[in-house]
């Protein structure tokens, strides 16, 4: 059973976080990493017809198993970067950037949804790579040299991207299949 690293921080979206946690946990040990080893506040995002922007509400609290600085990425098969507002802040964590760069240098599977690509953009690992994300993050990925594709799921080498939480099923199905393929090889 390989280990999967799931990144979390205050403001991570509930569904973007919990779907990979439980889905990948069916076949792998999922380790939750964050800036510190403590409980984090997840949020729920809803598109209210009366608002022009996403409405954010408190969600669950979710405990991390490890601080980024204590993570040896060599111990992990794959990496998951949930969305929500957390990536906006997490993208400046040098230990997280070290971890992300390791996964790309070693061509290990990485899953990103929604704002998770903001971390990839700062880590400078998506230059020339096709990605998808929510339309609001298109600028971030294009400035980082990526090619934005408006599709529910984009697989580019080791990177599995999806836009919205309603597209989590196909995203996690494809990612889980890749992890099984790699473990059986």
DSSP letters, 76-123, are -SEEEE--BSHHHHHTT-HHHHHHHHHHHHTT--EEEEGGGHHHHHHH
Contact 163, 114 (CB under 8 A): yes
Q: 45, 47, 102, 115: which one is catalytic?
A: 115
**Residue 115: active-site member:** yes
Separation CA 68–CA 99 (nearest Å): 8
Strand partners, 84: 12
Give the residue carrying structure tokens 């697989």: 155
Contact 9, 106 (CB under 8 A): no
Q: Both tokens of residue 141?
A: 């990925």
Q: Which residues are catalytic?
A: 115
């Amino acid at each position: 059973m390989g280990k999967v690293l799931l990144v979390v921080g205050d403001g991570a979206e509930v569904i973007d976080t919990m779907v990979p946690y439980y889905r990948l946990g069916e076949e792998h040990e999922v380790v939750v990493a964050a800036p510190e080893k403590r409980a984090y506040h997840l949020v729920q995002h809803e598109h209210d017809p009366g608002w022009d922007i996403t409405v954010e509400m408190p969600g669950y609290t979710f405990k991390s198993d490890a601080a980024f600085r204590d993570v040896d990425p060599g111990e992990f098969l794959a990496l998951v970067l949930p969305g929500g507002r957390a990536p906006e802040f997490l993208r400046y964590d040098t230990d997280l950037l070290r971890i992300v760069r390791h996964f790309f240098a070693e061509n290990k599977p990485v899953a990103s949804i929604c704002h998770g690509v903001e971390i990839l953009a700062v880590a400078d690992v998506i230059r020339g790579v096709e990605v998808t994300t929510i339309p609001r993050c298109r600028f971030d990925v294009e400035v980082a040299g990526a090619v934005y594709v408006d599709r529910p799921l984009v697989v580019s080498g080791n990177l599995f991207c999806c836009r919205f939480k309603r597209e989590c099923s196909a995203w996690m199905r494809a990612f889980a299949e890749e992890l099984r393929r790699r473990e059986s090889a």
